[in-house]
């Protein structure tokens, strides 16, 4: 019997199939190498599976997924920072290489710039510019208004540009 | 530099540094095998979910491979919404909508509400029922047949904890499988109805359906006392019954149901006549 309140989100595997491509693209952008991207990707989806019972049928699965993704990315970098206190840290992005427009150096520099952003700006920026979410979705994910989400992205973008080698 | 200029500037960088489509596809391929193994290790069991309409209102039913895992009133008086019930079930199961899988439970309940009180034979899955004590209590409770009731205190004593009537009350309140784990058959020692998670009107209806008479207040009337230890049932005013251990008592709606539960009539007070009269 149909019941108006009996709503379930799609099966997890369908969510996986629908979004794995964009999540992987994001992972490759946020990490330095393929191995890290694989680890992050797996981490995101395992965490998503565990939290899936708490996702209601509401159509905000994508925003929810990107929230998990940016969380896991932050935790990953936090762990790496702890490790780096013991081992030698990775060198800060190479300004000259970035200025020389080498794609790999540009990617590294962009990643470093994103990592230096405050948390909410980083999330908003990653969701909008790397994930392609709209401001409505970002507002849902960050629990703020779409206008505030837009402001976060703009400030983040200005900061990144300001720190870019000319 | 304005908004649009900034966007264009970033767009150029993003284009130059974008991961190639081939790289995404290749990495996904590697990721699939690894993720699949890890997911399989933590996967929840699948279970069917559906709504069963009943004279008591809509019931939310969850059926796993082991049996009926949840049967709850879709409109709970304590404000728990259907969404919350679903979220609880989804912590343990990957739910899918399937009316066919819950069909047998629906058929049994239809017969039950039509008066066939022995119809509820579908197996139950007590995984949503909390920890050891709660589960043990629910398992014992399933032995309390239609037409009988047991007190919170007596049920606790049966489970080995005669002072745990409050804990029994909690176990009843969180009972995931209404009607099949008949928490409506648990009442106060003095014959008072106690509480019910689905609301007292529903508890009253269920007990009436099972043959009990209730006075205007919340008390069971005209019942027969059974004794789990001796296997004998008496009139409530029997002098032998007054001496028995209250924690072993069951309250039956009449002698017929006591006999069906395997008890014999007391030779002192001869309650068979009492029940017939």
Ordered per-residue pLDDT tens for chain B, 277 residues: 677 888 899 998 898 888 888 999 999 999 999 999 999 999 999 999 999 999 999 999 999 999 999 999 987 666 568 888 898 999 999 999 999 999 999 999 999 999 999 899 999 999 999 888 999 999 999 999 998 999 999 999 999 998 998 999 999 999 999 999 999 999 988 888 888 888 888 999 999 999 888 877 777 776 788 998 889 999 888 888 888 888 888 889 888 888 888 899 998 888 865 544 3
Would residue A2 count as lying in a domain? no
Exposure string over B242-273, b if 16+ CB within 10 A, otherwise e: eebeebebbbbbbbebbbbbebebbeebebbe
Listed residue (B200, B205, B196) closest to B178, CA to CA: B196
Exposure string over B181-219, b if 16+ CB within 10 A, otherwise e: bbbbbbbbbebebbbbbbbeebbbbbbebbbbebeeebe
Bridge partners, B59 (sequence order) = B52, B73
- Active-site positions of B read 183
Bridge partners, B195 (sequence order) = none
The whole-number pLDDT of residue B277 equals: 39
Q: State the residue range of the domain holding A75.
A: 12-162
- Are the beta carbons of A92 and A112 closer than 8 angstroms? yes
* Fold match flag (B45-113 vs B130-276): no
- Interface-testing mutation among A5, A22, A152, A166, with chain B (most B C-beta atoms within 10 A): A5
Query: Domain containing A70 — which CATH number?
Result: 1.20.140
Q: Does B45-113 carry CATH code 3.30.70? A: no
Q: Which residue has the higher pLDDT, B129 or A87?
A: B129
- In this prediction, residues A75-103 reach a mean pLDDT of 70
- Are the beta carbons of B151 and B187 closer than 8 angstroms? yes
Would residue A155 count as lying in a domain? yes
* Residue A81 binned pLDDT confidence (cut-offs 50, 70, 90): confident
Residues 17-36 of A with CB under 8 A from B: 20-21, 24-25, 27-29, 34
Q: Nearest C-alpha of chain B: how many angstroms from A36?
A: 11
Structural tokens at position A71: 């969380």
Among A5, A54, A130, the residue with its CB nearest the CB of B87 is A54
Residue-range domain boundaries for chain B: 3-42, 45-113, 130-276
Q: Provide the whole-model pTM.
A: 0.81
- Interface-testing mutation among B9, B27, B42, B70, with chain A (most A C-beta atoms within 10 A): B27
Contact B27 A37 (CB under 8 A): yes
CATH of B130-276, one of 3.40.50.720, 1.10.10.10, 1.10.10.2120, 1.10.3720.10: 1.10.10.10
Largest CA distance in chain B: 102
Q: Please provide residue B132's backbone torsions phi and psi, each rounded to the nearest 5 degrees.
A: -40, -60
Would residue A18 count as lying in a domain? yes
- Alpha-carbon distance of B94 to B88, in angstroms, equals 11
The whole-number pLDDT of residue A100 equals: 63
User: How many folded domains does chain A comprise?
Assistant: 1
ipTM score: 0.82
């Amino acid at each position: 019997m149909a019941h108006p309140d009996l709503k379930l989100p799609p099966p997890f595997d369908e969510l996986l199939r629908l979004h794995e491509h964009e999540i992987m693209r994001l992972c490759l952008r946020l990490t330095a190498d393929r191995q890290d991207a694989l680890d992050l990707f797996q981490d995101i989806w395992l965490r998503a599976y565990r939290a899936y019972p708490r996702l209601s049928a509401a159509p905000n699965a994508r925003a929810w997924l990107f929230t998990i993704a940016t969380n896991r990315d932050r935790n990953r970098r936090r762990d790496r920072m702890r490790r780096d206190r013991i081992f030698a840290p990775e060198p800060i992005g190479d300004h000259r290489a970035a200025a020389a427009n080498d794609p790999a150096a540009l990617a590294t520099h962009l990643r470093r710039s994103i990592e230096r952003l405050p948390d909410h700006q980083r999330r908003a920026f990653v969701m909008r510019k790397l994930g392609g979410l709209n401001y409505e979705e970002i507002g849902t994910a960050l629990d703020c208004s779409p206008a505030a989400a837009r402001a976060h992205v703009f400030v983040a973008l200005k900061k990144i540009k300001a720190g870019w080698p000319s | 530099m304005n908004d649009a200029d900034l966007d264009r500037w970033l767009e150029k960088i993003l284009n130059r540094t974008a991961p190639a489509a081939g790289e995404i596809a290749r990495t996904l391929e590697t990721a699939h095998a690894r993720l699949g193994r890890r997911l399989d290790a933590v996967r929840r069991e699948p279970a069917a979910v559906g709504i069963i309409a009943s004279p008591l209102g809509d019931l939310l039913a969850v059926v796993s491979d082991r049996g009926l895992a949840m049967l709850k009133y879709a409109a709970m008086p304590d404000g728990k919404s259907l969404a919350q019930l679903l979220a609880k079930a989804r912590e343990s199961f990957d739910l899918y909508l399937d009316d066919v899988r819950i069909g047998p439970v629906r058929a049994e309940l239809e017969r039950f509400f039509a008066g066939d009180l022995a119809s509820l034979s579908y197996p139950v899955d007590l995984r949503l029922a909390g920890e050891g004590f709660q589960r043990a209590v629910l398992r014992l409770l399933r032995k309390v047949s239609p037409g009988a009731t047991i007190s919170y205190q007596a049920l606790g004593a049966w489970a080995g904890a005669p002072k745990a009537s409050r804990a029994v009350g909690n176990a009843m309140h969180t009972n995931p499988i209404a009607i099949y784990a008949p928490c409506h058959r648990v009442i106060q020692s003095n014959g008072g109805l106690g509480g019910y998670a689905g609301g007292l009107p529903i508890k009253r209806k269920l007990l009436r359906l099972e043959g009990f008479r209730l006075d205007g207040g919340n008390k069971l009337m005209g019942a027969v006392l059974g004794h789990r230890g001796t296997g004998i049932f008496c009139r409530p005013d029997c002098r032998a019954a007054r001496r028995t251990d209250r924690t072993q008592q069951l309250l039956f709606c009449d002698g017929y149901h006591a006999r069906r539960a395997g008890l014999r009539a007391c030779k002192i007070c001869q309650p068979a006549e009492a029940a017939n009269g």
